[in-house]
Amino acid sequence: MRIIVTGGAGFVGSHLCERLVGEGHDVLAIDDLSTGSRDNVAGLLPHPRFALFVHDVTDPYFAPADRVYNLACPASPVHYQRDPVKTVVTNVVGTINGLRLAARTGARFLQASTSEVYGDPDVHPQTEDYRGNVNPIGPRGCYDEGKRCSETLAFDFHRQEGVEIRVARIFNTYGPRMAIDDGRVVSNFIVQALRGEPLTLYGEGNQTRSFCYVDDLVDGLTSLMEHPSETGPVNLGNPVEFTIRELAEKVLAITGTDRPLAHVELPIDDPKQRRPDITLAARALGFTPSIALDEGLLRTIAYFRERLASA
């Protein structure tokens, strides 16, 4: 098939492109490289079935396509809060442009949404029918509400224009090719530990997250895209829950680092609990994450160790 992946030079997008090319598809990655990197797709650039188009998805684009994966948007608080207006525009206008292309070409369209649509949840674990507890005027609103609107657009194009859609709600994902400075907790802890710095712990570290290794997530995304009828939204993530303090202790143990934890104030609207209910994904897609946190951290730490050494 001919497949477009917006955000294809990003962390998740590059792994997805690699999988799709490996399966024999022609893949066009579209990325403005604001948070993505050519380095992430360096191994794919010589491949005859892969192309990188450096382009901002808020400007219209067109290419023949059978599938469109819409992943284009900064995904870490450091990046999406740097220019919050641009984040909203990318989520809204970028999604409209992708859906218009899908409507013109008859392509199936997958919207990469996020667990952030649940905000600081009152329901735990989070199920797809929970409508969330989001602060629309807080500093995270640009991303949270932008992604909520992108889901709305997908379903409205489905109802109004007949676009075949899939919506994935992605929970915390980690692995090689995360940016060193992306501000997400896994990369923060690993980089700080490898540099011999104190690990920054927000509050007491009692807030919880569930961490999904990127290969497992890509399994879920491709399975959802190729499901014959499931539109979603579908939660994709690992349901095993850890406190942030437990994560810090694992990183210190695996890196062999003995550094203190530096406590700082909790960010505004930081969720206290985050864990996906993946009953729907397991039933409809056969989705069951297979890579445990310890194994995934070993692989991710090895990647960052090499990156920091070369830098």
Residues with catalytic roles: 143
Evaluate the omega torsion of the peptide bond into residue 233 and state whether it is cis, within 30 degrees of 0. Answer: yes
Burial of 16 (0-12, 13-18, 19+ CB in 10 A): buried
Q: Is 87 helix (H, G, I), strand (E, B) or coil?
A: helix
- Closest Cα to residue 61, out of 20, 16, 28, 21? 28
Q: Which whole-number Å values give the CA distances from 111 to 68, 268, 274, 304, in the listed order?
A: 9, 27, 21, 29
Alpha carbons 211 and 274: distance in angstroms, whole number? 10
CA-wise closest residue to 68 among 172, 152, 159, 154: 154
Distance CA 179, CA 288 (A): 26
Residue 219 and residue 233: Cα distance in Å, rounded? 16
* The pair of three-digit structure tokens given for residue 218, joined into one six-digit string: 């890509």
